[in-house]
Amino acid sequence: MSPFTEVISALTPNVPVLWIESSLNVNASTAACEEGTSGPDPTTVYVDMRALRHDRVRLVERGSPHSLPLMESGKILPGVRIIIANPETKGPMGESHLGEIWVHSGHNASGYFTVYGDEVLQSDHFSSRLSFGDTQTVWARTGYLGFLRRTELTDASGERHDALYVVGALEEAMELRGMRYHPIDIETSVIRTHKSITECAVFTWTNLLVVVVELDGSEHEALDLVPLVTNVVLEEHYLIVGVVVVVDIGVIPINSRGEKQRMHLRDGFLADQLDPIYVAYNM
């Protein structure tokens, strides 16, 4: 188990572990900072996807157009502090903004276990400080985007608690048309378009959006999927798909925690190692 895998050792049972070590080793590793079995049930909020593209958090009603459900990751343990920071300026952000999750606790790790480590990289991610405000506290950067909200539910002591909501990995977020898009939103739209699409993963390549879909069916269906994929992404996310890649089942890499390895998939695409059924370019 890598150090970063131990960031959260006890999440809510029905929530997948969202804290993983990235393929580029840029995430921070900290001790267990949340619990899910004791206290109230996790809360779910609905946020406006259009606001998220501008790094803003706007709560909406369930079923509202462009709404995205997010479940809290668990109750923050005593002695653990979490702050949402701007990943570029390193300044603290308000409750209505999306930012990088930083953690401070007595169990924060000090670095990666490596013989030839990058001291500058490790210092930035394990010993970061805010650019203004509380500049003395040392924080560990998680590499994940999220936000904090004060919930209406109370814990065993009768007090309301802060809930942490994780949106996605910072390194996998895509900057397109001056806005930040999260892969899972586009992938969910694509999977709904056809019963033969079993899995989907998206990433960017030279400012182009690449959509990879796994086909569970005959190969002659591959050509039919292209207009469906491009249309749904345009209609729901206002984005033009640059490349559609149709592959066999199991090509999209998944790690032991069930998480898509989009950066590994991108590397395989660039190295022409995917052995696709069909590729459509919309340059």
Instruction: State how far Cα 179 lies from the chain centre.
Output: 15
Pairing verdict, β 160-169 and 140-154: antiparallel
Structure tokens at 281: 């370019």
What tokens appear for 67 in the block? 């709404």
Name, in order, each residue with C-beta under 8 angstroms of 142's C-beta and a sequence gap of 6 or more.
7, 19, 27, 28, 30, 100, 101, 102, 103
DSSP state of 165: E
Q: Would you call 26 helix, strand, or coil by DSSP?
A: coil
Radius of gyration of the chain (CA): 20
Q: What is the pLDDT of residue 29?
A: 36
Could you count the other beta carbons within 10 Å of the beta carbon of residue 234?
12
Give 120-156 pLDDT, tens digit per residue. Answer: 556 677 888 899 988 888 898 988 999 998 776 555 5
CA dihedral sign of residues 86, 4, 119, 260: negative
d(C-alpha 225, C-alpha 244), whole Å: 9
Contacts of 92 (CB under 8 A, 6+ apart): 83, 84, 85, 86, 130, 132, 133, 134
What's the CA gap between 151 and 3, in Å, rounded?
Answer: 30
Given a contact cutoff of 8 angstroms between Cβ atoms, the answer to whether 35 and 61 are in contact is: no
For residue 73, with 0-12 CB atoms within 10 Å meaning exposed, 13-18 middle and 19 or more buried, which class applies? Answer: buried
Return all residues near 63 (Cβ < 8 A) that are at least 6 apart. none
Residue ranges for the chain with pLDDT beneath 50: 1-32, 36-37, 115
pLDDT for 264: 94
C-alpha 45/C-alpha 56 separation (Å) is 14
106-127 tens-digit pLDDT: 777 666 655 455 555 566 778 8
The Cα–Cα gap between 67 and 62 comes to: 7
